[in-house]
Chains A and B, each alone.
Chain A
Amino acid sequence: MKIHRLQARSALGTAATALVVILTAACGRSEARSNIVNVYSTRHYGAMEPMYAAFTEETGIRVRVSHGGMHALLERLKAEGERTVADAFFAVDAGGLWLAANEGLLQRVESETINANIPAELRDPEGRFFALSQRIRSIAYMPGRVDPSELSSYEALADRKWSGRLCMRPSTNVYTQSLVASLIAAHGEEKAEQIVRGWVANQPEYIDSDTRILQTIAAGGCDVGVTNHYYLGRLIDQDPDFPVKMFWANQDGRGVHRNVSGIGVTAAAANRQNAIRLIEWLSDRAGQAPDATGLPGSNFEFPVNSTVDAHPIIAGFGAWRADPIPLGEYGRHQADAIQLMERAGYR
């Protein structure tokens, strides 16, 4: 019986492997209690480790992180349901936090400390998620080729004078989606589509990297681009002579487009108290520090805690006033924003 011997062997081998794997997984899980907090994080490796280490040192609570794309982690939270190991969900986009809350994946948290640290506009009104850093998506330009007086708003980038001079991030990027979602919230779909069609008519160069957009502006490939402010912060940190400047858009109108990174406690959190302590710590002065030891400072983002200063490099970009739109609106309009961009021919 030449065939089935071999098959029996390999089947046995597979079964044994599977068993070992299952046992390992089961053991791994039973350890996951008490002095631990499990975080699903869309923030890449390397960004948060110093803060988590400091938190562990102070509280004795160990932070275990599973990184992933926002949608991948959302799908996973949904599929795992009440059996999830995640205690907290960390996202780098307000839309993602709203989507998680809207799917019932996050629970309400009431904490004096958190509420004192984070202003109301940077918290979910129902207490399901909290911003931990602010990121501004605005207009970057090349001094010399563009005079700041020529710039005013996102809407004005549809003006014909920017034809062939724009660098934009493609519609697949969540930052672009949130920006267009804010246009929908401000003007309604019809007007928003007109604006996006205006951008498209200017034949922007689509580059799927904010850093590369800034470098292309510096190299003369385009004059104006829309990027998050901290990418410019990083480039200036590496090279203080980097020539591109940041212009705060819509300061005469509704305000500049603000997004946040933030966190929420999962509905099924087994280590709920530890997760809350983590949020309290991250929103406090230590977690919000403007240098590399703090969450906003390590990435040149603006703090949410108003008692803390911003990193000197980004403080140099000047003061700004943000669009007061509730953070949840980006998530609510995200799908519409994508369809709108498809209709308008925005890549």
Chain B
Amino acid sequence: MSARATARPFPTAHSVLGNLLSLLVAGLVIVPMGLLLVRLLHPTTAVWIQLWETILPLMIRNTFLLMMGVGVITFSLGSGLAWLVTVYRFPGQRFFDWALVLPLAVPTYVMGFVYMATFDFAGPVQTTLRAWFGADLVFPNVRSGTGAILVMGLTLYPYVYFLARAAFREQSSLTFDAARAMGYSHTQTFLKLVLPMARPSLVAGVTLASLEAMTDFATVRFFNFPTISEGIVHVWQGMMNRDAAIELAAVFLLVALGLVMLERALRGRSRYYQHGARDGRTGGRITPVVLGGWRRWAATGACFLVFAAAFALPAARLALWTVGDLSRAATATALRTVYTGYVLRTFGLAAVAAVVAVGLALVLAQNARLPEHKMGRITARLATMGYAVPGAVIAAGVLITLAGVDRSIATAARWIGFNSSLLLTASIVGLIYAYVVRFMAVAYNSVESSMDKVTPQMDMAARTLGASPRQVLWRIHLPMVKIGLAAGAALVFVDVMKELPATVLLMPFGMETLSVWTYMLAAESLWESAALPALTIVVVGLLPVLLLMRVGRLTTAEERSA
């Protein structure tokens, strides 16, 4: 069931061009970060010493705890729920199957302020409990590491769920049936066979979730749980010491690179190719098991609990606040004039960034696909570093890079004899650039893991049968990876909509997005007013998610009828 690609029969002329293009893409990502890293050559020692002696050890500890905690929660929730809805049938299974992806549309900082406003001392839950049980009631402190880890775990588990669900669905029933025939129970099959085989997807999902947690600064600030990411913003903005912040960011970058390599190691060198997977003839999908007795309600209960906590509750709270805010006549009038603009701008930015990121990811993935493309894999790894870097750091790198480009253009223009007033730094080029750098990994991971399923033998078979390389691409590769491309684009779209620090730093005049609107108001503790833009992010974020689920279902149906 597993195969390793060996010889490669194709000529190499195109792989030179492929490498060049890949390098170009990687260069786009590396240059801004390289320019930041260069500043490490002149460390500002005094600041470092003070940081080491005061808050840095705590920040390192918190970052580690946060990533571990979020990793464990997202892994358990994501893979467990995906297994439940894929293999078992129970009341509500069809609903939860897609509904459990919905929290993907809720940004962590929105979840943060909703949970804080609901569960802290002055919030309605504790106030009600005090009214019932007296003022001496002891409630665990919500403003804590545990609070931050829980909230982020609940918001980020869909990364794992989404990828695990896709992986489980694509597993062949032959494997599953064989395991059952050998006397494995369902649980044993899950733990010993299904999970290990889904490892690439699971590791990718957990890595995305942990890195997202690591780069967040707004949510951990809400919960008084300073991490390194928060520290960078703190040193940079609070102490106005960009050099020290960049040094901290550089160290952060090295840690992130280590993690990305760890991910590769955990994914393993082997590739799993299944015979009989998803071809509708020799195997097909795992036959679902109908749960009986208390188990069916336990399954429903578990799914409902997660869905309520991660989506229904925050969405309802936002909806209530929005209604409250809109009921004030003054706000309603003010909103009518600006609201559509915000939505369209945000939507447009996210769409452009998603298309560019997936296009570039395809270039990288094509060039990194085959075992002998060492160069391609190295460039791909470099090009996807951005996901582990806080948005503010990327924005700074992009700003420095584009400011250099602007200066060069101005100089060149003067040589030719006219004045260039071109300002890339103040245009949406900078913003799109930062988004692409930041979310390249999201696009790439989706594209790459769907390409993992295209076996080298398929190329060889198609070529043997007389297909041209171009036909191989259009008739074999693209149909097989199109869900991966759609998934990648949808994930980038949602991520861009939620993105905050880079947007704040780089947005041009009149280009404010919904995330900035939300954050500005939430930071001013105007939660009711922040609810409408936040709710819009959630609702608009749902569209690509739902679309994605629909594309998945249609494809499955096509395959079944074929």
Where the two chains meet, the residues of A that have a C-beta atom closer than 8 Å to any C-beta of B are 1-7, 10-11, 13-14, 17-18, 21-22, 24-26, 28-30, 32, 38, 44-46, 49, 64-72, 74-76, 79-81, 83-85, 99, 170-172, 174, 177, 205-212, 215-216, 218-221, 231, 292, 334-335, 338-339, 342-343, 347
Contact = CB atoms under 8 A, between A and B. Distances in A.
A220 B122 CA distance: 8
B97 interface: no
B50 A339 contact: yes
A242 to B, nearest CB: 12
Interface stretch (B147-155, B418-426, B552-560): B418-426
Given A7-B363, A25-B429, A216-B121, A71 B236 contact: yes
Contact of B54 (A18, A21, A49, A343): A343
B122 A215 contact: yes
B424 A212 contact: no
Contacts of B363: 6-7, 10-11
Given A14-B360, A64-B509, A71-B236, A221 B122 contact: yes
B421 A30 contact: yes
A68 B224 CA distance: 23
Nearest to A171: B238
Given A21-B427, A45-B517, A75-B396, A7 B366 contact: yes
Interface stretch (B192-200, B255-263, B469-477): B469-477
B15 interface: yes
A216 to B, nearest CB: 5
A80 B507 contact: no
15 contacts: A10-B360, A10-B362, A13-B355, A29-B421, A29-B422, A44-B521, A44-B523, A45-B338, A68-B504, A79-B403, A170-B221, A334-B238, A335-B241, A342-B55, A343-B50
Nearest to B17: A4
A282 to B, nearest CB: 19
The 4 A-B pairs of least Cβ separation, nearest first, read A25-B427, A2-B469, A71-B237, A44-B520
Contacts of B427: 21-22, 24-25, 28
A66 B355 CA distance: 26
A231 B396 CA distance: 33
B86 interface: no
A38 to B, nearest CB: 6
Contact of A25 (B330, B403, B424, B477): B424
B80 interface: no
A2 B473 contact: yes
A196 B189 CA distance: 59
Contacts of B512: 45, 66-67
Contact of A210 (B399, B428, B508, B525): B525
A177 B524 CA distance: 17
Given A2-B473, A79-B425, A46 B237 contact: no
A311 B356 CA distance: 51
B424 A80 contact: no
B49 to A, nearest CB: 11
B359 to A, nearest CB: 4
B64 to A, nearest CB: 19
A7, A84, A219, most chain B CB atoms within 10 A = A7
B507 A172 contact: no
Contact of B237 (A4, A28, A64, A69): A69
Contacts, number: 207
B99 to A, nearest CB: 31
Contacts of B367: 3
B421 to A, nearest CB: 6
B334 A49 contact: yes
Contact of A1 (B241, B359, B469): B469
A292 to B, nearest CB: 8
Given A38-B509, A85-B426, A45 B120 contact: no
Contacts of B226: 347
Interface in B313-355: 330, 334, 338, 352, 355
Interface string B223-244: 0101000100010111111100
B14 interface: yes
B516 interface: yes
B14 A25 contact: no
Nearest to A167: B121
B455 interface: no
Interface string B479-515: 0000000000000000000000000111111101000
Nearest to B478: A6
Contacts of B330: 292
B290 to A, nearest CB: 45
B482 to A, nearest CB: 13
Given A79-B399, A208-B221, A231 B352 contact: no
Nearest to A76: B505
B222 interface: yes
Given A6-B473, A30-B421, A79-B399, A44 B524 contact: yes
A71 B399 contact: no
B224 A71 contact: no
Given A11-B21, A66-B508, A22 B406 contact: no
Contact of A5 (B55, B221, B473): B473
Interface string B101-134: 0000000000000001100111000110010000
A67 B241 CA distance: 22
Given A80-B425, A216-B122, 13 more contacts: A2-B472, A2-B473, A3-B367, A5-B470, A10-B362, A22-B427, A25-B424, A32-B509, A76-B425, A81-B403, A212-B116, A221-B121, A338-B238
Contacts of A208: 221-222, 224
Contacts of B352: 17, 21
Given A2-B473, A231-B525, A10 B520 contact: no
Contacts of B525: 209-212, 231
Given A208-B224, A220-B135, A3 B15 contact: yes
Contacts of A215: 122
B481 to A, nearest CB: 11
A83, A85, A99, A171, most chain B CB atoms within 10 A = A83
A75 B505 contact: yes
A177 B504 CA distance: 22
B429 to A, nearest CB: 5
Contact of B429 (A18, A67, A347): A18
Contacts of A207: 120, 143
Nearest to A10: B359
A83 B14 contact: no
A209 B222 CA distance: 9
Contacts of B470: 1-2, 5
Contacts of B87: none
Contacts of B359: 10, 13-14
Contacts of B406: 83
Interface string B379-404: 00000000000001000100110010
Contacts of A209: 525
A329 to B, nearest CB: 15
Contacts of A174: 238
B145 interface: no
B529 interface: yes
Nearest to A344: B54
Nearest to A74: B240
Contacts of A218: 122
Interface string B264-292: 00000000000000000000000000000
Contacts of A30: 421
B224 A206 contact: yes
Contact of A3 (B117, B241, B366, B428): B366
A218 B122 CA distance: 8
A205 B116 CA distance: 14
Contacts of A170: 221, 224
Contacts of B130: 219-220
B15 A99 contact: no
A80 B120 CA distance: 42
